[in-house]
Amino acid sequence: MKPTIINDSGMEISEELMEKWVQGITAELFRKKVLNSENKDKELGLVFLGENDAKKLNWNYRCKDYPTDILSFDSEDPTTLGELVLCPQVIIRQAKDHGISQEEEFGYTILHGVLHLLGYDHEKSKENEALMMGLQDEVFENLRNPKKASVKNKEKTSKTVEAVKELVKSQENKKVIKIELKKTQKHKTKVLIKEAKSASKKVVKAAVVKVKDKKTKATVKNKKK
């Protein structure tokens, strides 16, 4: 996403820092397939307002009479993802409550707004809240600690590779078992054929003996006559 920044808050805002956060959020959400390639290249409006203006907006759009940290607005412009209205005074106070730096709180707040623009809404239900906040915390931690995230990703990759190896091994074992079963079946078939042939020979021998016996008896009778 490409940020366009407007600062009417009366406070100094580092555009470089905001751009850095937006770039990181874009990359991480795209990596996690939360952000598609189309939205990845859209513009993102960042508007910074003072507490009085933020309070008015919050009342007009949410009927809440206090300044909020961020408000998210969808855009009808197909080239823009939407607009985030932030109140730096509130964000700075929240940083102390959350136990993180002011710079990190700005990133966390922007990430929250972007997820809203992508359709996430923690106010709909407990399930939606758990889904959105879980994703937000995970992405934020990856951005805060990229080395740790890299290790986690390697561990996940390693586990995936091991799982694939186990699956392949399992499939190979199944093939071996099938081959052994086929061999066993062939062996059983050979044994059965052998037994059948043997039984057939015995029957033939018995029949021959009977025939010979009949001939012998007939010969004896003829001699007596």
What ranges do the domains of the chain cover?
2-144
User: What pLDDT digit, counting tens, does each position of 109-153 carry?
Assistant: 999 999 999 999 999 999 999 999 999 999 999 999 987 755 555
Average pLDDT value for residue range 57-72: 97
Measured CA distances, 132 to 82, 128, 138 (Å): 18, 6, 10
User: What pLDDT digit, counting tens, does each position of 152-174 carry?
Assistant: 555 554 554 465 556 556 666 66
| Model confidence, pTM | 0.68
In the chain, % of residues over pLDDT 90: 64
Backbone region of residue 50 per phi and psi (left: phi > 0; alpha: psi in -120 to 50; beta: other values)? beta
Give me the residues paired with residue 73 across strands. Answer: 83
Average pLDDT value for residue range 52-80: 97
What does the alpha-carbon distance between residue 207 and residue 190 come to, in Å, rounded to a whole number? Answer: 25
pLDDT range class, residue 41, cuts 50, 70, 90: very high
Homologous superfamily (CATH) of 2-144 is Metalloproteases ("zincins"), catalytic domain (3.40.390.30)
